[in-house]
Structures are given as structure tokens and as C-alpha cells.
Structure 1
């Protein structure tokens, strides 16, 4: 049995949800509460970051390592080509997405969302334990401070994150001119990772989270300039998610 320990809001966890669904694998998702997840995560792998995949008594952490494992254990619907040159390109694009898209998106979004507990608490507790909403309201002031410190979110770092994000989106945009996929002629983990990590800027319905009806205007302002260039993300979600 495959078990995914995750935060529903996390775009790195979405990488794994998407991969599991793409491979049509049965799995159980266990939604943990931010801040309160640390005990369970340390018990499984000795550190606190999610996602964590549990399979046959083996715990795998880190979204890229989990994708490696899934292709090794469940080779149907592979997420990377066998040909070495193409595989290298796919993994390079995934690493680029993890570092230059996933991190800036997380910083930019949380910089806004952590100021709106009425919006972010339901996202943190979506389909989680019954006591989640009440507990999160109690711990949220300290959790907000801890998250800002842990992710080094402040006005200066967020300005840098926006510049990195803009540059990264442009790089993907240029790459996709006259192309359907980032590498080769088939959907791969390069496309999956890039689309999943950009998804918090376009909120696709198949993401696996109950998005709020309305987002803070500040977040809408961040996302708006990217809408045209992120149409590719919506297309991948419609066809491959």
C-alpha cells in the first residue's frame, strides 16, 4: 500500500499526487497540519519536510527522490525517457523548476497568505483531522512567525523571489515556443514538476485542494501578469492530470 504524507496546499506534494494519479496507482493521502506535522515526519524519516511516501515499510522523502522511486517500482507510464540524453534534460528541467520556480512561488504566495488567516487556515486544514481548524486558530500566530523565519520571508527576500520567478517563467515561456513539452515529444516529469510548482499562481481545479472562492487582491495582483504565459499549465492539467 502506498501512503502519502502531505500538506494539501504544498505544490511539492502536488508533484507526487500528480505522479501517483498519472501512473494510476492506488494510494492513501494523509494530510498533516503544518507545525504539528513534525513528530510524524521525524518518526518516519528523521526530518520534517514533506512529502513523504511510505511503501512496503520504506519511507522516501523529497519529491524528486519519490519520482525516481515511483518509476523504479512502477515502470508503467514512465515519467522520464530511457534515452540518456533526453533523461538528463528532463531531470535538469525538474531541478530548475524545484529551485527557481517552486521556492520563489512559495515565498511570494506565503508572504501574502500568512497575512490572511481566514484564507490560509482552511487551506492548511483541508481534508485533515477533525480538530484541525480549531487547533490551527490557536497556534497560527506562532506558526506564522515560525514559517516566515524558516523560509526567510521578508520584504527583501520576496523582492528577490519575484525577480527569480519572472526570469524563470520567461525561460519556460521561451522554451515552449513551437513546442508542446519541455523535452522531447512526450509528457515527462519536467512538465509535471514545472506545471505543479506554478499551479499556485493559476489555481487549477484538479490540483487536489479546495481553493477559496476569492483570493486576496494582493495575490491576484501577483498572478495576473503571468496568466498568458501560464496557459500551458492549464492545458497540461486538463490533458494529463
Structure 2
């Protein structure tokens, strides 16, 4: 069986999960524990980033490389067009999704986390004691902004990312006005990349991911709930309902070894 070494809340891993579900390929998730699980991942793939796909003796790192591998070795329900121009457009749009949507979605989510107590509360498990919820509510946004600046996610960076995401969502709404998918009437890699990489802007509402219940369907205020972008969110929800499987595949956790105490999500 295919094995996906992953981080559950990585939107790049979600891109691979969407593709696997679309192709109807059974797989087992191997959750990579930050730090202690990364040594095994390095031994397996020669690097520490997720996602990594293991198919027998084959080990493939990077979500784009995995998508190409799956289309070549499991050609049923192809996701990469054969027409040269459509193929080129597909790869351009996927790269745009990876580099613009993926990176800026992360920044606007962190900005919303800093500014919205409701968003912070949604990340807490349902079993969180009331006093801890009160502590989370009482953290001043200014304190979180200072922490964000140290990680490169200060107010200016978040503002620029928000403007870029607004432009991205506007463009996607235009592209989807007269077609079922971004490149026509059949889904491609571009569609799955865009759908997955907007996860941080608005989390899927269904039981697709291991998320706190309060977080399902929640998103960045002004982007996830703006009527101007309804066409896109309805499209994404329909893509999920059509192709993403509900439920959690067999899962294990990569925990042996020692290593760095952070994980790079790619």
C-alpha cells in the first residue's frame, strides 16, 4: 500500500491527499512527529520536509514531484493534461498556487490568529478547561503581533499577504465563472493545488481532516466570509464533496530517533 509521510495540517500534504482520493488510491498516513520523527524521514528520503510518498521501493519527496509520479504510474483518472498548451497552463497555475496562495494563506491565517480570539479558541480541543480558554481570550493582539514579527509575520507582512489573497480569490472567481474547473470541464492538478492550498484561508467543513470541531468551516474574516468570493468557496466545497474521502485512512506515527525540534512543511 502507498504510504504518505505527512503532517495533518500541512496544506501541501492536503494537495497530495486530494489527488490520492481523486485517483481512488488506498494509502496509509504516517504522521511525522516534529523533531523526533524527522530523523526517520531523513533516512528515508534524504531530507526533512513533508509530504513524502513511499511506493514500494520508490520514495518521492515534494508535492509536485509526487503528483507527477502518481500520474505516470497510476494513469487512471489523469490530473496532468496531454495537450501541450493545457499541460503548460496546468503547471503554471500549480506553481502559482504553491508559491502565492500557499505562502500567503499561511500569513493571513497567522494574522487572523493574532487578531481574533474566536479563531484562537477554535484551535483548542473541546476538552480544553474553561480557565485556559479564558487565558487565550485575554492575550492582547499586540503581544501576538510581536511574536509574529520575530517569525516574519508582522502586521505589514500580513497586510501585504491579505491584499495578495484578495487578488488571488478575485482572479479565481473570474476563471470559474464559465467552466466547471480551472482549465475546462475536467479537474487537473491545478484544481487540486488551489483547493488544498486555500485550506488555511478557510478550513473544509466536512470530516476530511483531524481538526477541532470548532475549526471546521472556519476561516480568515473578510476572506472566508466575503460574499464577493462565494463562487470560489462554493466551487471548492463541491470539489471536496465530490472527490475528497470522508474519514481517516490507516495511520501510524513516525516517532523513533532524535533530531531537530521543528518541521519544515513543503
Over the residues paired in the alignment, what is the CA RMSD in angstroms? 3.1
Residues 201 and 219 of structure 2 are in contact (CA less than 8 Å); yes or no, is this contact kept in structure 1?
no
Give the superposition deviation at 1:48: 2.1
Give the superposition deviation at 1:71: 0.5
Q: What is the CA–CA distance in structure 1 between the aligned matches of 2:209 and 2:219, rounded to whole Å? A: 20
Structure 2: any 5+ residue segments left out of the alignment?
126-143, 245-266
Structure 1: any 5+ residue segments left out of the alignment?
123-143
Give the superposition deviation at 1:157: 1.5
Note if 1:238 corresponds to 2:211. no
Residues 15 and 196 of structure 2 are in contact (CA less than 8 Å); yes or no, is this contact kept in structure 1?
yes
Give the stretch that moved more between structures: 11-20 or 42-51.
Answer: 42-51
* Aligned equivalent of 2:162: 162
Q: What is the CA–CA distance in structure 2 between the aligned matches of 1:206 and 1:240, rounded to whole Å? A: 12
Q: What is the CA–CA distance in structure 1 between the aligned matches of 2:47 and 2:149, rounded to whole Å? A: 18
Instruction: Choose between structure 1 and 2 for higher RCO, CA contacts under 8 A separated by at least 6 residues.
Output: 2
Q: What is the CA–CA distance in structure 2 between the aligned matches of 1:150 and 1:61, rounded to whole Å? A: 29
Deviations 1:151-183 (A, max 9, x none): 632222111111111111111111111111111
Residues 86 and 184 of structure 1 are in contact (CA less than 8 Å); yes or no, is this contact kept in structure 2?
no
Shift of the 111–39 alpha-carbon distance from structure 1 to 2, 3 Å rule, reads farther
SS of 2:48's equivalent in the other structure is coil
TM (norm. structure 1) is 0.78
TM (norm. structure 2) is 0.72
SS of 1:20's equivalent in the other structure is helix
Flag the structure with higher helix content: 1
Count of residues paired in the alignment? 220
* Aligned equivalent of 2:7: 7
Deviations 1:114-139 (A, max 9, x none): 897765475xxxxxxxxxxxxxxxxx
